C-alpha cells in the first residue's frame, strides 16, 4: 500500500470504481495488495472513513461507499465497550451517552467482555433501555482471565473470578502447566468460543492455592490486569537514580531549607509527596504547599515515564500498595523525608482573613522537612490537648494552631460558595500476619486530615487557575453537573419530606445540594437523602478542557499535589517546570496539545480500575471478617433498595443483603419512586435510612457477598 496519508483516498477511489462490489476487510486487503504488516493500518483507515461517514459497513461486514438511503446513519451506527452478564445478555457503554445499550442474548454475536464493538440500534425495544445488536467486534478487550482451576481426567477447566463471565474456560491437559484442583491461575484465551463450544485457553501462571495467604488479593490484582513487577529497563533506570540531592540539582532553585515545614500523613505512609509550612504576618497567612519534584527524576519518554503512564496511579489495597513508581524513587529520593534535602515545586500563597489568595508564586525549590508528623499526633495536640505530645513537639505547636485556624477559614469560604462535603466514612482494616481481618472500623477523619485536605485543595485551585489564564495546554480535574433527570427524580422524592431543590434551566447549583445536606443533618432521613444525593452525582475525571468542578463549586481545579502516586500530577509538573524555565515554545505547546487528551482519558480509566480493585479487595476482607460472626445479630441501616432486596450497612461499614424472599410475612414489591420495599397485603414498608436488626445468615467468598436476615419484631418501622 501507499504512504499512510494516501491510503484512505486509495480505498475511496477503489470503491468509486463501477466494477467494485462490497467486500469484507480481508477481501479489501487482497485487492489492495496489503502486506500482513499493513493490515493494522488498513483497519485504521477503514475505521476513520467510517467515522467520517465516507464509507459504510453492512451487518455482514462488507464495506461500500456511504449511501444515506441505505445506511443506518451515523446516529444509529455506534461504537462502544461490551460489558457481559453471566446470564448471557450484555450492555454496551458508549462514550458521551448517559445510558448503556442493552444487548439481548441472541444479538451478542460472539462479543466477549470488554470487547470494542460496533452496534446497530434495534427499532423495537421490549424493555426500558434502548436495545442494540453487535454487528462487528473491532478489538478484543479480554486476553487473560483469572480463576480457580478444576481438574478432570483428561482436561481441566477454569471458573472465572469475574462474575460477568458466563462460561468456564476449557483447558487442554497439556496446557494446564501442572495446575491442580483449587489453584488460582491466570489463563490466556486461545479461543473465545461459539454457540456450541466453550471458550478455550492455556494456563500461563499459577498464583498459588486458593487457601494460601495473600493469594486472594493477588487474584484480584491479576484479574484487573494491574502490573505488579517492573520491567528490567525500568528497575535499571530506577537503580541509577541518585540517593541524595547534589549541588548541581539545587542550581537556579529557591532555597527554603530554613523555612519550618512538616509532612502530615498516616502512620504507615512511606511515599511522602507533600509538605506544608505556615507563617503569619499581620492579618495575612503565608501558606507554603511543597510538592516533591518527581519530574526532575522521571524524564518524559523514559522507561520510568512509560511505565508510570501505563500504571496511571498507585493502587492502595488492604494488604499492600502497588506503587506507580519503584520504591527507590517513591520511598527514596522523591519522598519528602524529614532531615534531608529534597527538590520540590512549591506553591507559596498569601491568604487574607477571608480565605482569599491575594498573592502567590509557583517556584522550583529545595527544602528540608523538619518533622514527619502523623494524623494521630496532630490530632492529639489539637483535639485532645495531650500534654506528652505537646511537650514532644512544643516548637511546632504554635504553627499547628495557626494551621487549624487557616484550614477552618478556607473550609468556611468553600462552604459559602457551595462546596459539597459527603462525609461518608471510609473503611480502616487491620489484618493479621496471614492476611485475615481482625478489625474493621470507620476511618478516622479528624482535624489533621482536614488540615491537609484544605491546604491541598487551595494549592490545586491556585495552580489550575494560573495555567487556565495563561492559556497553556494542561490537565484539569473536572466534575460535571449532575444529570437533570436524576436531580429531578431526587427533587420529587425529597418533596415528600418537606425539602426542595431549586433548578435553573435544568441545572442545579452545588450550593443547592449543600443546603439540602445541611437541612437534613441530624434528621431521621439524613442517611437516606445523603446517599440518594451522592448517587445522583457524576464521576470526576481528568480533562484538557477547564470546566467547573461541581462538587467543589469552583471554576478551576487540577491535581498538582501527588506526583509520586498519580500520573496527571507528574504530567502537569513538567508543564509547570517548562513554564518556569521559559521553555514553552510553540513546538512544545503543540507537543503537549497532542499528548494530553490521551494522558487525561487513560488516567481517568486507570483511576477507575484502581478504585474497583480496592473496592473488590475490601468486599472480600469484609466477607472473611463476617465468616467469624455467622448467626450473630447487629443493628444497621438500610443503605440501598433494589427489586431483589435491600442492603443493610453496619456501623463498621460492612454491608450485606436481605433478599426480598427473606422479608417477613408478606410478598414485597419494590417502589422505585419512593425507594421503598412495600408488603403487598400488609402495606408494611422498609425504606432507605431505616434502622433494622439483622442476623448474619451466610457468606460467600467466591461471590464476595454477605447475606443477612431481619430479626423479627426488632426492626423499627417508622
| Architecture label for domain 630-710 | Beta Barrel (2.40)
Give the number of other Cβ atoms within 10 Å of residue 85's Cβ.
17
Over range 463-483, report the average pLDDT. Answer: 93
Residue pLDDT, tens place only, 43-74: 878 878 887 778 888 766 788 888 765 554 44
Domain map (residue ranges) of the chain: 1-74, 144-212, 232-475+556-614, 630-710
- 3-state class of 598 per DSSP? helix
For residue 341, what pLDDT is reported? Answer: 97
- 3-state class of 577 per DSSP? helix
What percent helix, strand, coil does the chain show, rounded to 5?
35, 30, 40
Domain 1-74 belongs to what topology? Answer: Arc Repressor Mutant, subunit A (1.10.10)
For residue 717, what pLDDT is reported? Answer: 45
| Closest to 410 (Cα-Cα) out of 458, 449, 362, 378 | 458
Sign of CA dihedral 578, 239, 264, 543: positive
Residue pLDDT, tens place only, 145-168: 999 999 988 899 999 998 888 889
Pick from 25-29, 264-268, 392-396, 613-617: least confident: 25-29
Residue pLDDT, tens place only, 328-370: 999 999 999 999 999 999 999 999 999 999 999 999 999 999 9
For residue 713, what pLDDT is reported? Answer: 59
Q: Does domain 144-212 have CATH number 2.40.50.700?
A: yes
| Closest to 400 (Cα-Cα) out of 328, 451, 350 | 451
Compute the distance between CA of residue 289 and CA of residue 402 in angstroms, rounded to an integer: 15
For residue 15, what pLDDT is reported? Answer: 87
Compute the distance between CA of residue 427 and CA of residue 114 in angstroms, rounded to an integer: 30
Residue pLDDT, tens place only, 403-426: 999 999 999 999 999 888 876 678
Do 1-74 and 144-212 fold alike per CATH? Answer: no
Amino acid at each position: 500500500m501507499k504512504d499512510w496519508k494516501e491510503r484512505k483516498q486509495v480505498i475511496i477511489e477503489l470503491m468509486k470504481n463501477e466494477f467494485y462490489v462490497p467486500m469484507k476487510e480481508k477481501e479489501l486487503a487482497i485487492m489492495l495488495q496489503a502486506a500482513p504488516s499493513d493490515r493494522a493500518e488498513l483497519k485504521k483507515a477503514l475505521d476513520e472513513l467510517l467515522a467520517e461517514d465516507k464509507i459504510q459497513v453492512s451487518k455482514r461486514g462488507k464495506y461500500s461507499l456511504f449511501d444515506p438511503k441505505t445506511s443506518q446513519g451515523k446516529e444509529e451506527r455506534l461504537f462502544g465497550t461490551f460489558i457481559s452478564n453471566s446470564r448471557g445478555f450484555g450492555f454496551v457503554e458508549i462514550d458521551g451517552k448517559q445510558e448503556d445499550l442493552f444487548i439481548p442474548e441472541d444479538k451478542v454475536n460472539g462479543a466477549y467482555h470488554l470487547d470494542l464493538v460496533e452496534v446497530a440500534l434495534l427499532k423495537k425495544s421490549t424493555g426500558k433501555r434502548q436495545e442494540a445488536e453487535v454487528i462487528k467486534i473491532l478489538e478484543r478487550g479480554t486476553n487473560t482471565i483469572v480463576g480457580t482451576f478444576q481438574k478432570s481426567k483428561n482436561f481441566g477447566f477454569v471458573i472465572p473470578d469475574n462474575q460477568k463471565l458466563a462460561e468456564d474456560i476449557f483447558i487442554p491437559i497439556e496446557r494446564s502447566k501442572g495446575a491442580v484442583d483449587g489453584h488460582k491461575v491466570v489463563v490466556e484465551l486461545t479461543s473465545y468460543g461459539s454457540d456450541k463450544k466453550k471458550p478455550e485457553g492455556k494456563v500461563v501462571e499459577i498464583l498459588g492455592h486458593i487457601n494460601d495467604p495473600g493469594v486472594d488479593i493477588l487474584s484480584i490484582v491479576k484479574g484487573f490486569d494491574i502490573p505488579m513487577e517492573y520491567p528490567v529497563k525500568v528497575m535499571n533506570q530506577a537503580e541509577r537514580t541518585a540517593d541524595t540531592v547534589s549541588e548541581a540539582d539545587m542550581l537556579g532553585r529557591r532555597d527554603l531549607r530554613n523555612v519550618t515545614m512538616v509532612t502530615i500523613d498516616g502512620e504507615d505512609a512511606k511515599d511522602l509527596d507533600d509538605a506544608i509550612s505556615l507563617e503569619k504576618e499581620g492579618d495575612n497567612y503565608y501558606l507554603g504547599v511543597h510538592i516533591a519534584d518527581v519530574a526532575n527524576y522521571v524524564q518524559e519518554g523514559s522507561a520510568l515515564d512509560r511505565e508510570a503512564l501505563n500504571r496511571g496511579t498507585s493502587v492502595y489495597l488492604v494488604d499492600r500498595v502497588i506503587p506507580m513508581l519503584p520504591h527507590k524513587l517513591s520511598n527514596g529520593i522523591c519522598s519528602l523525608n524529614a532531615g534531608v534535602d529534597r527538590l520540590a515545586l512549591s506553591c507559596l500563597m498569601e491568604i487574607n482573613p477571608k480565605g482569599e489568595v491575594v498573592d502567590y508564586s509557583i517556584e522550583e525549590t529545595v527544602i528540608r522537612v523538619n518533622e514527619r508528623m502523623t494524623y494521630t499526633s496532630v490530632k492529639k495536640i489539637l483535639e485532645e490537648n495531650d500534654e506528652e505530645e505537646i511537650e514532644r513537639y512544643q516548637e511546632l505547636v504554635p504553627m499547628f494552631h495557626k494551621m487549624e485556624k487557616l484550614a477552618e477559614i478556607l473550609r468556611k469560604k468553600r462552604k459559602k460558595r457551595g462546596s459539597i462535603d459527603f462525609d461518608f466514612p471510609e473503611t480502616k482494616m487491620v489484618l493479621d500476619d496471614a492476611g485475615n481481618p481482625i478489625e474493621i472500623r470507620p476511618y478516622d477523619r479528624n482535624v489533621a486530615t482536614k488540615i491537609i485536605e484544605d491546604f491541598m485543595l487551595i494549592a490545586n485551585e491556585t495552580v489550575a487557575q494560573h495555567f487556565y489564564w495563561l492559556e497553556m495546554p494542561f490537565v484539569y480535574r473536572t466534575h460535571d453537573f449532575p444529570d437533570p433527570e436524576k436531580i429531578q427524580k431526587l427533587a420529587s422524592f425529597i418533596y415528600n419530606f418537606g425539602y426542595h431543590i431549586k433548578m435553573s434551566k435544568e441545572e442545579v447549583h452545588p450550593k443547592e445540594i449543600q443546603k439540602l445536606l445541611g437541612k437534613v443533618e441530624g434528621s431521621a432521613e439524613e442517611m437516606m437523602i445523603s446517599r440518594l444525593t451522592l448517587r445522583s452525582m457524576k464521576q470526576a475525571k481528568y480533562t484538557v478542557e477547564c470546566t467547573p468542578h461541581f462538587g467543589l463549586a469552583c471554576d478551576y481545579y487540577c491535581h498538582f499535589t501527588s506526583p509520586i502516586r498519580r500520573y496527571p500530577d507528574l504530567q502537569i509538573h513538567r508543564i509547570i517546570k517548562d513554564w518556569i524555565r521559559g521553555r514553552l515554545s510553540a513546538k512544545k505547546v503543540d507537543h503537549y496539545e497532542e499528548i494530553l487528551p490521551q494522558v487525561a482519558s487513560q488516567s481517568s480509566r486507570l483511576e477507575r480500575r484502581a478504585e474497583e480493585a480496592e473496592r473488590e479487595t475490601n468486599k472480600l476482607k469484609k466477607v472473611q471478617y463476617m465468616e467469624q460472626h455467622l448467626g450473630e445479630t447487629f443493628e444497621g441501616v438500610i443503605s440501598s433498595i433494589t427489586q431483589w432486596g435491600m442492603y443493610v450497612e453496619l456501623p463498621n461499614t460492612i454491608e450485606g443483603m436481605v433478599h426480598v424472599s427473606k422479608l417477613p410475612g408478606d410478598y414485597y414489591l419494590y417502589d422505585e419512586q419512593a425507594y421503598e420495599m412495600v408488603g403487598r397485603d400488609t402495606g408494611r414498608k422498609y425504606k432507605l435510612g431505616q434502622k433494622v436488626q439483622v442476623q448474619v445468615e451466610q457468606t460467600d467468598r467466591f461471590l464476595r457477598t454477605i447475606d443477612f436476615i431481619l430479626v423479627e419484631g426488632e426492626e423499627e418501622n417508622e
